[in-house]
Amino acid sequence: MTDFFSDEYFMKEALKLAKEGLNNGEVPVGAIVVCNNQIIAKAHNLTETLNDVTAHAEILALTSAANHLGAKYLPDCTLYVTVEPCIMCAGASYWSQIGRIVYGTSDEKRGFTTVTSNILHPKTTVTSGILKDESAKILKDFFYSVRK
């Protein structure tokens, strides 16, 4: 059983969103923003739906969280995302001053750590590998089905 308010609990919530995106024809990435152990924003990729290459789950969740709080900075919040953020999303997290990023699986092709980890705000902490296998499987299954 997963502890309420644990990284695993919140990552499971992000995985639910990734599956929702998958069911809507999107690359299955889910993201939530948590503040004071409460989910204040959630999103999945909408790049296909909106025909917008910037409509990544992380960007949408950060925007929603800022709107929810009425503030552009999110230093007391945590971004949970199923896949390592790309350079664009890492840059957005920098500008939001998010306090923490937790991600599931690494992205060896487009993840921000392939370029630099210095793109994050200096006060942002990172935890990776939370529900890594589940996060990787949904992506691998998606891309396998696309290539078939």
58 has catalytic annotation: yes
The CA-atom distances, in angstroms, between 127 and each of 48, 66, 124, 145 are 29, 22, 10, 29
Identified catalytic residue from 26, 58, 84, 134 = 58
The set of catalytic residues is: 58
